[in-house]
Amino acid sequence: MSVIPDDHEDIPASDTAVEAGEGEPLFSLVAGEGNGFLLGVAAGDAAGGAFELGYSAVTEQVTVLSYQLIDHRHLDPTIVVRRIRELDGSEDEGNVYRSETPHFRSWLDRAAAGSAVPEEESSSDGIARSVALGVAFRNDPRALVDQAVSLGRLFHRDAGSVAAGVISAAAVAASCFGQTGRDLVIGVAEAVVPAIPEIVVEMTGAERLNNLEKEFSDLEDSVGVRTSQQAMALMGDGTGDPVQQAMAGVLLAAPMDEVYHSPVEQAALIGGSVLGAAVGAIVGARIGIRAWPWAFPNDTWFAEIGRRLVSGPNETRDLPIPYAVEQHLMSGSRPGFH
């Protein structure tokens, strides 16, 4: 089974769930085919609390990447570096990133010094950074993996850090078509495990992925976990491991939950704004454009970005400039959300 079900276009509205053997649905009704993902990112980022007045640099990066994907339908590494750096003030302006993670801040500083050298240490940043790829390439698992690996390599030299981003992007792609439960985990595994040889080329820490297939098998058996405490107990000593964090996020997002924001809150308790944003993307891709129970700025902007990434038009010239939006948010007469 692939990440994207071959017959997703033929799922009738009356069949809102196909029952698994244990009574858990394999699919929920498709809602917007992923267009709510960026609302989920911002909601999860805000829940993680990296920036006290709303979303942080985690969401800002995803927004910039989403603009490029809308315009070009792929990521060009050179353009990615330039656009990411623009919000750091590369055009003789001020930095408008908020509450950057230490690894991202170090990468920006190296890029400003003349070379965007990937981070040597393991980092969970890619878990959230890659999520827009899951929506853009939801119909093309091969391109999804290729683009996620390419994006990961721009920022990381550690194989596990790159793999974590691929896991997250694959989970978002599956969620665009309503996959849930064990089926979600299996679909992600079938996209990620064959890509291990591609991920580890010229990477450090390649041995971290030696048992990834078994880890996915174990994860499948753990579906049903709904709290951060349960997920952390399964992670053991791996709470700082990017792959473990990504898999914990998939595990929390896998069940259908009537309280749709609960998995996002639980993920934020484990991995702060990064994991909260990633799980928010998975949940948001599944539920579509919907109000979240806590406030964060620019929600209508994020909803429109999600719509365009799913169904076009492939145009951002009539949308606000990301740098201008963030500058206004930080330096306006009343900074923050009102």
Encode pLDDT of 217-234 as tens digits: 999 999 999 999 999 999
The model carries a pTM of 0.90
54 secondary structure, DSSP code: B
pLDDT at 210: 97
pLDDT of residue 261: 97
Domain that holds residue 184: 24-331
Position 68 in a domain: yes
Residue 290 lies in a domain: yes
Distance separating alpha carbons of residues 27 and 296, to the nearest angstrom? 29
Any domain includes 15? no
Q: Is residue 17 part of a domain?
A: no
HSE toward the beta carbon, residue 201, CA cutoff 13 A: 9
Residue 126 DSSP SS3: helix
**38 found inside a domain:** yes
Can you give the pLDDT at residue 26?
53
Instruction: Please report the pLDDT score of residue 239 as a whole number.
Output: 81
Residues 193, 212: Cα–Cα separation, whole Å: 7
In a domain, 11, yes or no: no
Residue 18 domain-assigned (yes or no): no
Residues of the chain with pLDDT under 50: 1-22, 333-338
216 touches 193 (CB < 8 A): yes
What is the pLDDT, as a whole number, of residue 333? 46
Residue 216, domain CATH: 1.10.4080.10
What's the token pair of residue 122?
């393991």
pLDDT number for residue 17: 34
Domain membership flag for residue 249: yes
Count of domains forming the chain = 1
The reported pLDDT for the residue numbered 29 is: 66
DSSP run (H or E) holding 332: none
